[in-house]
Amino acid sequence: MENRPPVIDLNEVVVKYRPVVSFKVRKSLGAHTPDWEDVVNEVITQVIEKVQKGEFRGDSSIGTYIYTITSRRIIDHIRQKTKVLRSVPEPVPLPDPCDNAENRERAQIVAQAIQQLKPKFKEVLNLYYYQELTRDEVAERLGISPRRVSERLNYAQRLLRKMIRP
Amino acid sequence: MKKCLFADQIDDYLLNRLEGEPKERFEEHYFNCPSCFRQIEERDTLISTIKSRGAWIFRDKPAAERRAWVPAWRRAVSSFSPRQWATVGVAAAAILIAVFALMPQFRHASPQFFLNENEVVRGESLTLMSPIIDVRAVPTFFEWKPLAEAAEYKISLFNGGLLWSAATQDSRITVPVETQQRMLPGQRFAWQVRAFSARGALIAVSSKVQFQIAPAD
């Protein structure tokens, strides 16, 4: 008996997966790549078309299916860009003022919250996230156990979440 | 709530410590795990902020700057030791006891009045009511606002020199006929009242109010 394609609510899929696809694309291409949003739109369009054509058979989850399309599209994009770069220099990216303003505001709120933390929490955030030491290295530097480092990191993030929550 | 097994890899992923297959497995996971994706977004904001702001974000503010906004009284409070606090408490109690113990002795003491040419007066005010403006006929009485603490009033009527004086316990006094006869139309007068306590202490002095009796037609 032939497998029927699963019923998918495309609106729901787009709403749920656009942020995830955007994150993956930005992470892979870099947030300063000017056309990352075009890549996201192309991925979403491809997903909609493939689902509408019945190409998604439900062999994997819809999440995995979208992840596969996203990864392939990113690789294609990088290949195309590499070809372009060989012939013509890439134009200087124009910053998106809205995106920048929003990010700046968010970063400002987070920065203020970090400054209000106790020194022992700031210290562990500095060593782990800014200096990018491993958990064991941070533990050695501070003379505490790696487990204690994890506890401090988690607690610092819980405090920040509380402070930032609107 | 049970923690997702992949949650421990969030930092490694965001700090680019995951490569190859583990990285792909993690990425595929967060496409299927909304909880992990929420944490990734939140952590990414934190790391991006830290990276973009630099190390200064972790520096403690200089002591002077930090203390500048602390109110002076809080600094004073925080600088007191428990022993100093005890001393301050005892001193304050002693002052309060002294004030309340000594106050009754001074309560009925006479205020100081200096009744000279310039009429320097300190004490409660005594308000004169009638007559306070020029009058058509010779006044038959003088009236002022009573004072609660006053047991006796002394009134003085001047016409160049002292024309008449009397004492009363009321806030009104009738002018004797013989005094009325000495108050002639067209003349200018001044009057003043002083209030005394039951112990005979002067407690208030009015201002000296002038009036004129209208000239006869």
Section B123-144 average pLDDT: 85
Give me the residue from A19, A110, A157 closest to B49, CB to CB: A110
Chain B positions touching A125 (Cβ under 8 A) are 50, 58
Amino acid at A127: L
Section A62-75 average pLDDT: 93
pLDDT digits (tens, 9 = 90+) for A2-15: 567 777 788 888 88
What tokens does B10 get? 């969030």
Contact between chains at B44 and A119 (C-beta distance less than 8 A): no
Section B154-163 average pLDDT: 89
For residue A84, the model assigns a pLDDT of: 65
- Using CA atoms in the order A9, A15, A19, A25, what is the torsion angle rounded to 10 degrees? 50
Distance CA A70, CA B42 (A): 22
Contact between chains at A17 and B31 (C-beta distance less than 8 A): yes
**How high is the ipTM of this complex?**
0.84
> Is B118 exposed, middle or buried, given 0-12, 13-18 or 19+ CB atoms closer than 10 A?
exposed
Polymer length in residues for chain A: 166
Chain A residue with Cα closest to B45: A107
If one compares B148 and B125, the residue with the highest pLDDT of the two is B148
pLDDT band at A85 (very low <50, low <70, confident <90, very high): low
> Is B39 exposed, middle or buried, given 0-12, 13-18 or 19+ CB atoms closer than 10 A?
middle
Helix (H, G, I), strand (E, B) or coil at B46: helix
pLDDT digits (tens, 9 = 90+) for A100-118: 677 778 888 888 899 989 9
pTM for this prediction: 0.55
Q: Categorise residue B160: left if φ over 0, alpha if ψ from -120 to 50, beta otherwise.
A: left
What tokens does A117 get? 């933390």
Give me the residue from A17, A19, A114 closest to B57, CB to CB: A114
Look up tokens 């606090």; give the residue. B85
Which of B25, B49, B56 to probe by mutation at the A interface, max A CB count within 10 Å? B49
Chain B positions touching A16 (Cβ under 8 A) are 34
Give me the residue from A64, A122, A126 closest to B31, CB to CB: A64
Helix H, strand E, coil C: the string for A37-79 is HHHHHHHHHHHHHHHHCCCCCCCCCHHHHHHHHHHHHHHHHHH
Handedness of CA B19, B21, B26, B27 (dihedral sign): positive
Contact between chains at A61 and B15 (C-beta distance less than 8 A): no
Give me the residue from A23, A66, A130 closest to B55, CB to CB: A130
- The minimum CA-CA distance between A122 and chain B, rounded to whole Å, is 6
Q: How many helices (H) and strands (E) does chain B have?
A: 7, 11
